[in-house]
Amino acid sequence: MQKHHAALSSYHFQRAKTQGIIKVLNEGSYVMAEYSERTGTVKWQRVVLATQKEMIEKWLGQHYPVQAAEPAPAPPVAARRPKARAAAK
């Protein structure tokens, strides 16, 4: 367990200005990955060991669970008027 904690301690996580995005930064503050709270996907920007990737992705999923999107309100339905019929000859 100590190895797992040591691997995560070399990274820090920061909310981006874009809503729902969490940045994964290394000790030098380089952006390593971006995590979307909306979809739960991680987009890696730099090469990271597979074991570290797995730990980071698991940690992100536990601490920043996927948020269900709020349903958009339905547009109001306009009342239809019957079409005027052409006058009979």
Q: Considering the entire predicted model, what is its pTM?
A: 0.69
**Mind listing the pLDDT tens digit for each residue in 24-46?**
999 999 999 999 999 999 999 99
Q: Where are the beta strands (DSSP E) in the chain?
A: 11-15, 21-26, 31-36, 42-44
The distance in angstroms from the start CA to the end CA of the chain is: 91
φ, ψ at 72 (rounded to 5°): -75, 140
What confidence category does residue 78 fall into, taking pLDDT thresholds of 50, 70 and 90?
Answer: low
Q: What was the pLDDT predicted at 3?
A: 55
Q: What is the mean pLDDT of residues 80-84?
A: 69
Q: What is the mean pLDDT of residues 37-58?
A: 95
Q: What was the pLDDT predicted at 32?
A: 97
- And the tokens for 69? 């999107």
